[in-house]
């Protein structure tokens, strides 16, 4: 038995990829551990989206190097170190130069080749030549075809399932089109097979993942058709999807939200900014107005839908008036959840080369103001649930003894006193209290479920 430690940074797609890497390495005798110090193989699955995320990779490599030395020093054997993910893709050569501890670098489309690469690295042992670099040629077909063959093992009740990768939108701030390549959608049959397998292992909820998941299109299959089909799989009671682009919201997706009971009332639909001038400079291909119309149509289809978003403050050229337009849009939308980021110039993206970069102090001040507004909206959304009875999927033990925790349809964490025999089940909970990031409640009867949530 060999020990595998994978550390995952960034988005849910990386979480999915990390699980699949563990799956393809299992036949080689690798068993996952959550301790890096005695791992035989360490994989860092990295994120390149903002500078801070990237810097974490290098900081972690410093710590890994110390662990590797300590392990060898104690006679506990070697430690192979691989860097995967988006930093690997974007900065492979730089990683090899900056961090001699790294044995191999592997981009997101090449994970299916990990077994061969690791086997080679192991065979060569301490004398191996460093420098295996495997970056994507952006042929996701090969990756998914090979990953299909690896048995997917899941222990939880909620799972991620990648259905689409890549991005053709080229927002001027974003590295994703360069690290993940062009938009590509997996064949529906493969997705249905994977979802069926997950349901057979007790998974009750799947989140369909894609950088532009609502652009999913394969052989006439749209995301909405996929959702309707997956909803019919026995045991699969909840379906979610993320992340969507406002440009790709379609009629059939609105309709699915109105009609498919298993489709959860939650939509992560990043808008990034509220000023049309900034949106144009970002190459977003939508306006504040068209975004608000999309939200309205979604609310017409599913009145209780929880809206979530991403925001960037301090994009080059953003004036105080532009920023206030973002605050206005936020007030108009009323979010259930949201993420706000300071603009981070990324090498090779058009915005990094734009003039009128916004000073750090201004970014900080705007982030604080936007953060406070969003926080207040999240609290308000959560408080509005007090007194309602929501179906909760219990997916983990709580922090305190006798507590379990789960997720509401609106993706809120719900904590309550209940026996852990309820884990994996969906049961009604009457909400008794709310904070900005979680709810507490008590078990209720199915007949008490609120309004649109009653089956
Ligand atoms: N700077 C700051 N935030 C960014 N995001 C993407 N690129 C950048 C960047 N260069 C944010 C966007 C996106 C989320 C995943 O990360 O808001 O929706
Ligand atoms: Fe980060 Fe984007 Fe890569 Fe996800 S796809 S890990 S968010 S850079």
Domains of the chain: 2-136 (3.40.50.12160), 141-383 (3.80.30.20), 389-454 (2.40.50.140)
**Would you state the pLDDT for residue 132?**
61
**Would you state the pLDDT for residue 138?**
65
Tell me the CA–centroid distance for residue 107 and ligand 1, in Å. Answer: 20
Query: Where are the strands (E) in 156-196, listed by range?
Result: 158-162, 164-165, 184-185
Largest CA distance in the chain: 67
Cis peptide before 389 (omega within 30 of 0): no
Among the residues of 51-136, which ranges form H helices?
51-73, 85-98, 114-124
Q: Which atom of ligand 2 is nearest to the CA of 180?
A: 5
Ordered strands of the 2-8 beta sheet: 30-32, 2-8, 41-46, 80-84, 104-106, 132-134
Ligand nearest to the CA of 52: 1
Q: Which atom of ligand 2 is nearest to the CA of 14?
A: 6
Tell me the CA–centroid distance for residue 50 and ligand 1, in Å. Answer: 7
Q: Which atom of ligand 2 is nearest to the CA of 176?
A: 2
Q: Is 22 in the pocket of ligand 2 (CB under 6 A)?
A: no
Quick check: 444 and 426 in contact, CB under 8 A?
A: no
Q: How far is CA 343 from the centre of its chain?
A: 19
Q: Which residues form the pocket of ligand 1, taking CB atoms under 6 Å from any ligand atom?
A: 49-50, 173-174, 270, 272, 310, 312, 341, 343-344, 346
**Would you state the pLDDT for residue 130?**
61
Report the C-alpha gap between 10 and 53 in whole angstroms. 7
Tell me the CA–centroid distance for residue 407 and ligand 2, in Å. Answer: 24
Tell me the CA–centroid distance for residue 49 and ligand 2, in Å. Answer: 5
**Would you state the pLDDT for residue 41?**
96
- Averages of pLDDT over runs of 10 residues in the chain (455 residues) are 96 95 93 94 96 94 96 93 94 91 92 86 60 67 78 84 95 95 95 95 96 96 98 97 96 98 98 98 98 98 97 98 98 97 96 96 98 97 97 93 95 95 96 93 89 77
**Would you state the pLDDT for residue 136?**
63
Q: Is 156 helix (H, G, I), strand (E, B) or coil?
A: coil
């Amino acid at each position: 038995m060999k020990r595998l430690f994978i550390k995952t940074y960034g988005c849910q797609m990386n979480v999915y990829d990390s699980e699949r890497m563990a799956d393809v390495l299992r036949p080689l005798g690798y068993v996952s551990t959550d301790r890096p110090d005695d791992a035989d193989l360490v994989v860092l699955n990295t994120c390149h989206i903002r500078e801070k995320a990237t810097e974490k990779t290098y900081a972690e490599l410093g710590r890994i190097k110390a662990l590797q030395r300590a392990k060898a020093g104690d006679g506990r054997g070697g430690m192979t170190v691989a860097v995967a993910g988006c930093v690997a893709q974007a900065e492979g050569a730089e990683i090899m130069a900056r961090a001699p501890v790294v044995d191999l670098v592997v981009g997101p489309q090449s994970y299916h080749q990990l077994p061969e690469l690791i086997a080679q690295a192991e065979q060569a042992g301490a004398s191996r030549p460093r420098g295996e670099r495997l970056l994507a040629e952006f042929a996701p077909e090969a990756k998914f075809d090979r990953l299909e063959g690896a048995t997917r093992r899941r222990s939880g009740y909620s799972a991620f399932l990648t259905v689409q990768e890549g991005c053709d939108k080229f927002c001027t701030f974003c590295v994703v089109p360069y690290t993940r390549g062009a938009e590509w959608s997996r064949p529906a049959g493969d997705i249905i097979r994977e979802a069926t397998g997950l349901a057979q292992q007790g998974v009750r909820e799947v989140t369909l993942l894609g950088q532009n998941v609502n652009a999913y299109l394969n052989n006439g299959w749209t995301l909405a058709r996929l959702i309707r089909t997956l909803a019919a799989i026995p045991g699969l009671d909840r379906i979610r999807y993320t992340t969507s682009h406002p440009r790709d919201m379609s009629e059939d997706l609105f309709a699915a939200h109105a009609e498919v009971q298993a489709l959860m009332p939650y939509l992560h639909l990043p808008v990034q900014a509220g000023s049309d001038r900034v949106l144009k400079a970002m190459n977003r291909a939508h306006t504040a107005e068209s975004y608000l119309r999309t939200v309205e149509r979604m609310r017409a289809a599913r009145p209780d839908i929880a809206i979530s978003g991403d925001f960037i403050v301090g994009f080059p050229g953003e004036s105080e008036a532009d920023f206030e337009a973002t605050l206005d849009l936020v007030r108009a939308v009323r979010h259930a959840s949201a993420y706000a980021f300071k603009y981070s110039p990324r090498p090779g993206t058009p915005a990094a080369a734009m003039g009128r970069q916004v000073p750090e102090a201004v970014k900080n001040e705007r982030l604080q103001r936007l953060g406070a507004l969003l926080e207040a909206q999240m609290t308000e959304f959560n408080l509005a649930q007090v007194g309602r009875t929501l179906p909760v999927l219990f997916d983990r033990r709580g922090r305190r003894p006798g507590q379990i925790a789960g997720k509401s349809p609106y993706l809120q964490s719900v904590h309550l006193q209940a026996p852990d025999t309820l884990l994996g089940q969906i049961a009604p909970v009457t909400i008794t209290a709310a904070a900005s990031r979680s709810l507490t409640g008590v078990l209720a009867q199915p007949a008490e479920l609120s309004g649109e949530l009653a089956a």
